């Protein structure tokens, strides 16, 4: 119990620095290209050229999208000579994107009701 008489809540808001990191995730995944990249990386660690081929984007556009994802901490990379191999930093972000996709592709009756 705290000095105010309230029990600490296990779902208390995160620390400000953690809140800022959480808030950066929606922006990082707010483009079609970046979402496609995350789906591609959900299967394997890939280099920029492989990601570009899978997503149908130029290597330049792919690199730009990866920089945004990397700056938000959504993906990480390792160097192998001149190549950078990317992977999803935490599977939870991939699960978030997959859940959003499942919701949008759902034919559940309650989904139909919400659209009406």
- For residue 10, what pLDDT band results from cuts at 50, 70 and 90? low
Confidence check: pLDDT of 112 > 70: no
Q: Which whole number is the average pLDDT over 79-107?
A: 88
Nearest to 86 by CA among 66, 103, 102: 66
Q: Which whole number is the average pLDDT over 76-95?
A: 92
Nearest to 42 by CA among 77, 7, 86, 84: 86
Q: How far apart are CA 81 and CA 60, in angstroms?
A: 19
Cα torsion for 42, 26, 33, 64, to the nearest 10°?
-100
What domains, with CATH codes, occur in the chain? 24-115 (1.10.10.10)
Average pLDDT along the chain: 83
Using DSSP, state whether 4 is helix, strand or coil. Answer: coil
Q: Is the pTM of this model over 0.75?
A: no
> What is the model's pLDDT at position 44?
92
Tokens representing 35 are 């979402």
DSSP, res 9: P
């Amino acid at each position: 119990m705290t000095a105010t008489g309230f029990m600490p809540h296990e779902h208390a808001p995160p620390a400000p620095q953690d809140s800022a990191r959480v808030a950066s995730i929606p922006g990082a995944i707010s483009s079609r290209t970046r979402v496609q990249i995350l789906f591609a990386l959900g299967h394997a660690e890939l280099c920029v050229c492989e990601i570009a081929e899978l997503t149908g984007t130029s290597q330049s556009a792919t690199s730009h999208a990866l920089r945004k994802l990397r700056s938000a901490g959504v993906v990480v990379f390792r160097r192998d000579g001149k190549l950078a191999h990317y992977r999803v930093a935490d599977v939870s972000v991939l699960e978030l994107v997959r859940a959003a996709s499942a919701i949008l592709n759902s034919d559940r009756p309650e989904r139909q009701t919400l659209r009406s």
